Amino acid sequence: MAKIIDAKGLACPQPVLLTKKALEEEAKVTVIVDNEPAVENIKRLGKHMGCTLHTEKKEDGTFQIHLSREAGGSADVPLDVSCATGPLVIAISSDRMGRGNDELGYVLIRSFLHTILSLEPLPHTVIFYNTGVKLTVKDSEVLDDLKKIEESGVSILICGTCLNYFGISKDLSVGVISNMYDIASTMAGAGRLVVP
Amino acid sequence: MTDMEEYHVILFDSVHHALRSEKILKEIGIPHKLIPVPRHISSDCGICLRFTANLRNKIEDALTGKVEIREIRPL
């Protein structure tokens, strides 16, 4: 039987500290938490301590992380904790990355979007506005990457005003059309906001 | 499943050669993709051209003599 740690409602870094203590005593531990930073901190701890682990997301919004410490795994590891609250949000404000040279900027934005898929953890939301929306319509060269990002569970919000301005609303091929209320509140509620 | 496909990449000494290659392949309609050079190949901030292995001969024919290629290798 796994030892069960109920860490719901506890402020960071309590859940990861309790998990570490439990893993020093038991080989199998199940932790229940109610926020994603705690999940990520516990996953990192588990990896450092040589655990196999899997995470279940429950319908009530909590997460169960099952950790099993392998023989040879060390309990003497540094704590690697990030207490940033709120999700990672990426805002794509242009179909170029950076200013200066458009040809280069277009190469960079494609590379950036391709690389999002290998981020860990994945962003919670990617928002497209201004000329950024041109990347989300049919014949866009990054559509395959964006579809994979969406299939991985990332929410993709597209500025409807912007699609309308460029006359490309009917060509939208990924994500959901959104408005400034959602876009502003998603950006304001982000733990970290990345604007390439 | 596209993920199961075997890919090769072309590495270049200059971003300009990568862009010229992309232009040539677009014009003749050979599927490909510019991607950042994967970390396991190089830590440079570079871009490379990825394609499915079965297109290798076609792509080499299309680019030979027109752009400078550093290396073609499996991904």
Residue ranges of the domains in chain A? 3-69, 88-194
All residues at 6 or more sequence positions from A178 whose CB lies less than 8 Å from its CB, including other chains = A127, A157, A158, A159, A160
For A111, which of B2, B19, B47 is closest by C-beta distance? B47
From A115, which residue of chain B is nearest by alpha-carbon distance? Answer: B36
The H-assigned helical ranges of chain B are: 15-28, 56-63
Task: State the Cα–Cα distance between residues B20 and B49, nearest whole angstrom.
Answer: 11
Asked if A107 and B34 come within 8 Å (Cβ–Cβ), the reply is: yes
B contacts of A110 (beta carbons < 8 Å): 34
Determine the pLDDT at residue A176: 95
Given this model, what pLDDT does residue B51 score?
95
> In chain A, which residues touch B (CB < 8 A)?
103-104, 107, 110-111, 114-115, 141, 144
- From CA A76, how far away is CA A98, in angstroms rounded? 43
Q: What pLDDT score was predicted for residue B3?
A: 53
Q: Which two tokens stand for residue A162?
A: 């912007």
Q: CB–CB of B15 and A107 under 8 A?
A: yes
Nearest by CB to residue A111, choosing from B2, B19, B35, is: B35
Using CB atoms, pick whichever of A107, A141, A144 lies closest to residue B47.
A107
CB of B41 less than 8 A from some CB of A: no
Query: Is the overall model pTM greater than 0.80, yes or no?
Result: no
Please give the average per-residue pLDDT across A8-14, as a whole number.
89
Question: Architecture of domain A3-69 in CATH?
Answer: 2-Layer Sandwich (3.30)
**Superfamily of domain covering A88-194:** DsrEFH-like (3.40.1260.10)
For chain B, domain boundaries: 2-74
* Residue predicted with more confidence, A83 or A190: A190
Mean pLDDT, residues A117-138: 94
Q: What is the pLDDT of residues A154-184, one digit of tens each?
A: 999 999 999 999 999 999 999 999 999 999 9
Give me chain A's average pLDDT, please.
91
Two structure tokens written together for A86: 């709120």
- A-interface mutation test, from B19, B25, B43, B75, most A Cβ less than 10 A away: B19
pLDDT tens digits for range B42-70: 766 689 999 999 999 999 999 999 999 99
- Give the nearest partner residue to A114 out of B2, B19, B36, using CB atoms: B36
CATH of B2-74, one of 3.40.1800, 3.30.70, 3.40.50, 1.20.1070: 3.30.70
Signed CA dihedral, B54, B57, B61, B63: sign only? positive
Query: Tell me, what's the pLDDT at B43?
Result: 67
How far does the CA of residue B22 sit from the closest CA of chain A (Å)? Answer: 11
Task: Please say if the pLDDT value at position A44 is more than 50.
Answer: yes
ipTM: 0.75
pLDDT of the residue at B1: 43
